[in-house]
């Protein structure tokens, strides 16, 4: 570890001299909006460009202090002609109406609002095209890691066919805590709330709804696939216990809150929920509140992007990068044809194969009044074509005698049939979660 | 794992209809050049744009078959006015001369040539600025993972202060094999050569010279720092043994071929060479020939980019993405002021602190004729202010009695003094490698 005293620093950026100044209007002055204003003020002329916040839309200007003028009139803000409009309201309305009017006037818009993009991307991008401008939303998914814009503008890297991701920091933190020794879900959740990783009402994170919205954004952006949140089979992490994680480690892996989609064979398969992730898979190494995505493209071996998923300051930095990119992209809007992410009208894909065709390993938990002999479970499973790979028995650590097992890859219908038969025969309660393939 | 039959596929890309056609000239038709031509031909009108290879520069046109016209005249190729020139010659000359003349004529250039960029980036980027065009080199570092362009155009994410990376697949593969059970370096190297991960002459990879060139490119691109390969303290992986890797695992980590640079305190520190990487650090999970970089910026928590580092097809896909980006970037060249990566004249940084100030843990190997008592080593080290964290003794597995230890963080000068004193007192052979900090 040596100092390189012959390495010389260059001028950090020419922006400081002939500085580009951008006039930015904010929709919303909550945690994210105010973080954008603070970061812009603190950054002065750099990095990149000087950003002047010319005003922010709020519900009420009473008893608010802010480092920019506040208004309750959206129209006034849009008509003041900002170089870029930053949408930090959250939710679909009134964000949608205001963003539409800005895009139609040719004002570039930057949004961190996954709900807005998941529900209205088509309409908004059509408006951007009419207005000859752009809509950017890098902070809507894994806010601290730039990858959406990169893959949108690079058609070879962006020719995705499968994504495996951890898109929610709250649930990753809770499962990491359970693995590290937290005794139960409630303790881990309380810890997440204490550290600011979980909202006072954590329902949207814990249920998987937050990750499902982000997956909808990714399906559209990376796959050109139209889905709604209700299309995504989603399960929450509420049922996961510390013994589940200990057993997963026994099997050489862990449980992670996964968002998965594969459309390599003309048929889209997707889910959001806890999944077994082998230790050889890079998502298994995302600890605490970290997020990450593994992108499988036609032309490149899998690429991993990982880092912080949320937080006001993280989101603000990504929004300001989008502001700078938005002003550059606008001047080359004529090239948008080469961006498959912003593609045109829908066409229903009819080559959709049934679920039975897709094979995966399953992580299974069986709770019963009396211990279940492993050999008998394996025999019953085998009669449904499901081969048990590994079994572990932690009955002494749980109230009911409990067995965990990991199957070899099999069709979901076979796993379902085998578990139903076992439940009928023994009265056991069976739970199952899918497994990702080894990452190697 | 359920099929979402309500997810509908959108038209993949409008490029297929009003297809953008790009005329591309190739410098070189070796492994990379021919892979670019094949991928362009196979891809037709998409993804992105149709790329027509209008000609390729070769040393001799005799007995060559190619899917495009071959020429030995660089001037003819440049004067034919391609939309983009792709440089796939390797080495500094004649690549530099031809690229210069293309940039000065306003022709965008895409290069995967780390040697060219490491040695002539300033001159080439100045020519690009005069020509009002761009030079892109995403494939020069971690060819299969797009991150250079992203960080170059996003000044907040790109405000880097430290990078920790695995930039060479050959050496990562060899150390991974040693860890997995290969008995010695020669066996692991032979395996790498058999699988095509190592050249017949692997000297540039094994010595660290390849990674040092890439680090020079990164220092300039991400830090605005000017360095040459000779400025980077570089050590090879040739001395690493399987017992070293077993001992590293004992200490809760592994040895990886690391490229490191930190310029957070106004002073650039850098090295290339084997380093101890704790299991909690994401670089520890890069297996086989994978590459990756962890980027620490001022405004975001660390971001990890990881994937394939090399290979003709990987490089070709990234080059074609650069070709498409280059034609877009050219039309917005007026905004290049906001790209700190392409900054202006040098200014020597005089606020450079001495090496002694930087503290790190050290992974140490001690070989001696007679076993060294751990308590005496620890006492001697302590008298130099170096605290031994862990010790392991694998003497029976090596020819000479051997001790490994991991120190607590200390100044490099202290570690050096302690090891010198120990060698003088006992006649032992001491080797040491730095450690990265825990990644959490």
Q: Which residues, including other chains, have CB under 8 Å from residue A66's CB and lie 6 or more apart? A: A29, A34, A37, A56
What is the interface pTM, i.e. ipTM, of the complex?
0.90
Residues B108-135 have a mean pLDDT of 96
Please tell me the predicted confidence (pLDDT) of residue A344: 32
Residues A24-67 pLDDT 10s: 999 999 999 999 999 999 988 777 789 999 999 998 887 677 78
Q: Which of A191-195, B180-184, B213-217 has maximum average pLDDT?
A: B213-217
% of chain A with per-residue pLDDT over 70: 87
Lowest-pLDDT range of A167-176, A276-285, B7-16, B78-87: B7-16
Distance from CA of A136 to the nearest CA of B (A): 13
A8, A306, A325 ranked by CB distance to B154: nearest: A325
- pLDDT grade for B137, boundaries at 50, 70 and 90: very high
Please tell me the predicted confidence (pLDDT) of residue B329: 61
Q: Which residue of B has its CA nearest to A355?
A: B3
Candidates A122, A146, A230, A292: best to mutate against B (most CBs of B within 10 A) is: A146
Show which residues of A are catalytic. Answer: 214
Peptide bond into A361 cis (omega under 30): no
Candidates A155, A318, A336, A407: best to mutate against B (most CBs of B within 10 A) is: A155
pLDDT greater at residue B201 or residue A35: A35
A3, A12, A360 ranked by CB distance to B355: nearest: A3
Chain A partners within 8 Å of B343 (Cβ): 10-14
CA distance linking residue A326 with residue A106, whole number of Å: 12
Lowest-pLDDT range of A135-139, A220-224, B96-100: A220-224
* Cβ <8 Å between B6 and A231: yes
Burial bucket for residue B187 (CB in 10 Å: 0-12, 13-18, 19+) = middle
| Pair B202, B193: CB distance under 8 Å | yes
* Cβ <8 Å between A299 and B317: yes
* Cβ <8 Å between B231 and A354: no
Please tell me the predicted confidence (pLDDT) of residue B20: 81
Chain B partners within 8 Å of A225 (Cβ): 7-10
CA distance linking residue A292 with residue B301, whole number of Å: 13
For the record, the structure tokens of A106 come out as 């040719």
The angle, 0 to 180 degrees and rounded to 10, between the axes of the packed helices B114-131 and B95-104 is 20
Q: Which residue of B has its CA nearest to A323?
A: B154
Residues B145-175 pLDDT 10s: 999 999 999 999 999 999 999 999 999 999 9
The angle, 0 to 180 degrees and rounded to 10, between the axes of the packed helices A242-250 and A169-180 is 80
Candidates B19, B118, B142, B154: best to mutate against A (most CBs of A within 10 A) is: B154
CA distance linking residue A244 with residue B273, whole number of Å: 40
Residues B18-22 have a mean pLDDT of 77
* Cβ <8 Å between A9 and B292: no
Instruction: Fill in the DSSP letter of residue A231.
Output: G
Residues A56-110 pLDDT 10s: 999 888 767 778 889 999 999 999 999 999 999 989 999 999 999 999 999 999 9
* Cβ <8 Å between A226 and B314: no
* Cβ <8 Å between B301 and A280: no
Candidates B150, B253, B298, B412: best to mutate against A (most CBs of A within 10 A) is: B150
Q: Does the pLDDT at position B16 exceed 50?
A: no
The residue written with tokens 């890079």 in the block is A282
Chain A partners within 8 Å of B48 (Cβ): 154-156, 338, 340
Chain B partners within 8 Å of A343 (Cβ): 10-14
How distant, in Å, are the alpha carbons of A163, A271, A273, A380, B209 from that of A233? Answer: 15, 5, 8, 28, 50
- pLDDT grade for A156, boundaries at 50, 70 and 90: very high
Please tell me the predicted confidence (pLDDT) of residue A9: 62
* Cβ <8 Å between A338 and B48: yes
Q: Does the pLDDT at position B359 exceed 90?
A: no
B197-225 in b/e form (b: 16+ CB < 10 A) is bbeeebebbbbbbbbbbbbbbbbbbbbbb
pLDDT greater at residue A241 or residue A359: A241
* Cβ <8 Å between A14 and B337: yes
Chain A partners within 8 Å of B39 (Cβ): 156, 299
Other beta carbons within 10 angstroms of residue A387's beta carbon come to: 13
A307, A325, A340 ranked by CB distance to B301: nearest: A307
% of chain A with per-residue pLDDT over 90: 71
Q: Which residue of B has its CA nearest to A49?
A: B338
User: Quick one: which of B65, B411, B50, B396 has its CA closest to B243?
Assistant: B396
Q: Does the pLDDT at position A1 exceed 50?
A: no
Q: Which residue of A has its CA nearest to B154?
A: A321
* Cβ <8 Å between A354 and B225: no
- pLDDT grade for B326, boundaries at 50, 70 and 90: very high
Chain B partners within 8 Å of A285 (Cβ): 282, 285
Q: Which residue of A has its CA nearest to B146?
A: A150
Dihedral angle over CA of B202, B204, B205, B208, nearest 10:
140
- pLDDT grade for A396, boundaries at 50, 70 and 90: low
Residues B50-65 have a mean pLDDT of 86
Q: Which residue of A has its CA nearest to B410?
A: A1
* Cβ <8 Å between A13 and B340: yes
* Cβ <8 Å between A7 and B268: yes
Chain B partners within 8 Å of A270 (Cβ): 2, 4, 7
Other beta carbons within 10 angstroms of residue B350's beta carbon come to: 8
Q: Which residue of A has its CA nearest to B50?
A: A338
For the record, the structure tokens of A189 come out as 């959740």
User: Quick one: which of B300, B230, B259 has its CA closest to B141?
Assistant: B259
Q: Does the pLDDT at position A354 exceed 50?
A: no
Q: Which residues, including other chains, have CB under 8 Å from residue A320's CB and lie 6 or more apart? A: A36, A39, A40, A43, A48, A51, B156
The angle, 0 to 180 degrees and rounded to 10, between the axes of the packed helices B169-180 and B185-194 is 120
A11, A231, A301 ranked by CB distance to B4: nearest: A231
Candidates A86, A154, A277: best to mutate against B (most CBs of B within 10 A) is: A154
Q: Which residues, including other chains, have CB under 8 Å from residue B190's CB and lie 6 or more apart? A: none
Percentages (nearest 5) of helix, strand, coil residues in chain A: 40, 25, 35
Q: Which residues, including other chains, have CB under 8 Å from residue B232's CB and lie 6 or more apart? A: A4, B212, B215, B216, B270, B271, B272
Helix residue ranges per DSSP H, B60-208 = 74-79, 95-104, 114-131, 148-153, 169-180, 185-194, 203-206
Strand spans (E) along B263-322: 269-278, 290-297, 303-308
CA distance linking residue A148 with residue A117, whole number of Å: 13
Sign of dihedral through CA atoms B11, B16, B17, B20?
Answer: positive
Q: Does the pLDDT at position B332 exceed 50?
A: no
Q: Which residue of B has its CA nearest to A3?
A: B269
3-state secondary structure of B291: strand
Residues B383-432 pLDDT 10s: 999 999 888 877 667 778 899 999 999 988 899 999 999 999 999 999 99
Residues A301-317 have a mean pLDDT of 95
* Cβ <8 Å between B47 and A303: no
Share the mean pLDDT of chain B.
87
pLDDT greater at residue B376 or residue B330: B376
Peptide bond into B94 cis (omega under 30): yes
Distance from CA of B347 to the nearest CA of A (A): 5
Chain B partners within 8 Å of A307 (Cβ): 300-304
Distance from CA of A60 to the nearest CA of B (A): 30
Chain B partners within 8 Å of A39 (Cβ): 156, 299
| Pair A213, A221: CB distance under 8 Å | no
Burial bucket for residue A301 (CB in 10 Å: 0-12, 13-18, 19+) = middle
User: Quick one: which of B306, B54, B377 has its CA closest to A439?
Assistant: B306
Instruction: Fill in the DSSP letter of residue B361.
Output: -
Distance from CA of A316 to the nearest CA of B (A): 9
A/B interface, count of CB pairs below 8 Å: 343
* Cβ <8 Å between B282 and A306: yes
User: Quick one: which of A389, A377, A404, A370 has its CA closest to A241?
Assistant: A404
Share the mean pLDDT of chain A.
87
Chain A partners within 8 Å of B145 (Cβ): 303
C-alpha Rg value of chain A to the nearest Å = 24
| Pair A115, A91: CB distance under 8 Å | yes
Please tell me the predicted confidence (pLDDT) of residue B390: 82
B146, B226, B343 ranked by CB distance to A13: nearest: B343
Please tell me the predicted confidence (pLDDT) of residue B349: 42
Please tell me the predicted confidence (pLDDT) of residue A213: 97
Q: Does the pLDDT at position A356 exceed 70?
A: no
Q: Does the pLDDT at position B317 exceed 90?
A: yes
C-alpha Rg value of chain B to the nearest Å = 24
């Amino acid at each position: 570890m040596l100092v390189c005293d012959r390495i010389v620093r260059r001028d950090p950026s020419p922006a400081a001299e002939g500085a580009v100044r951008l006039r930015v209007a904010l929709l919303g002055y909550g945690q994210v909006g105010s973080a954008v204003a603070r970061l812009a003020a603190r950054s002065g002329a750099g990095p990149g460009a000087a950003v002047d916040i010319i005003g922010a839309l709020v519900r009420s200007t009473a008893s608010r202090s802010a480092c920019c003028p506040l208004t309750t009139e959206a129209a006034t803000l849009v008509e003041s002609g900002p170089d870029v409009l930053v949408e930090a309201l959250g939710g679909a309305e009134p964000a949608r109406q205001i963003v539409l009017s800005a895009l139609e006037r040719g004002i570039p818009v930057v949004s961190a609002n996954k709900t807005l993009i998941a529900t209205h991307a088509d309409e908004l991008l059509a408006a951007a095209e009419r207005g000859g401008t752009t809509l950017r939303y890098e902070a809507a998914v894994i806010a601290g890691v730039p990858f959406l814009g990169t893959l949108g503008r690079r058609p070879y890297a962006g020719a995705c066919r499968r994504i495996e991701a951890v898109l929610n920091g709250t649930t990753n933190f809770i499962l990491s805590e359970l693995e590290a020794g937290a005794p139960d879900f409630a303790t881990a959740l309380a810890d997440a709330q204490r550290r600011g990783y979980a909202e006072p009402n954590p329902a949207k994170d814990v249920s998987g709804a937050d990750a499902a919205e982000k997956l909808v954004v990714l399906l559209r952006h990376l796959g050109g696939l139209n889905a709604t949140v209700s299309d995504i089979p989603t399960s929450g992490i509420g049922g996961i216990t510390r013994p589940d994680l200990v057993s997963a480690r026994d099997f050489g892996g862990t449980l992670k809150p996964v968002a998965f989609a594969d459309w390599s064979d003309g048929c889209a398969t997707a889910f959001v929920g806890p999944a077994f992730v082998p230790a050889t898979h890079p998502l298994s190494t995302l600890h605490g509140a970290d997020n990450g995505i593994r992108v499988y493209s036609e032309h490149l071996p899998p690429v991993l992007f990982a880092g912080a998923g949320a937080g006001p300051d993280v989101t603000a930095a990504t929004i300001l990068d989008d502001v700078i990119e938005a002003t550059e992209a606008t001047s080359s809007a004529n090239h948008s044809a080469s961006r498959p992410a912003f593609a045109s009208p829908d066409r229903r894909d009819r080559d959709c194969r049934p679920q039975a065709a897709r094979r995966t390993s399953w992580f299974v938990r069986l709770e019963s009044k009396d211990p279940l002999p492993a050999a008998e479970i394996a025999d019953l499973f085998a009669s449904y074509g499901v081969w048990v790979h590994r079994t572990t028995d932690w009955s002494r650590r749980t109230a009911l005698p409990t067995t965990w097992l990991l199957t070899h890859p099999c069709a979901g219908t076979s796993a379902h049939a085998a578990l139903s038969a076992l439940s009928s025969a023994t009265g056991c309660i069976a739970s199952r979660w899918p497994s990702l393939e080894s990452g190697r």
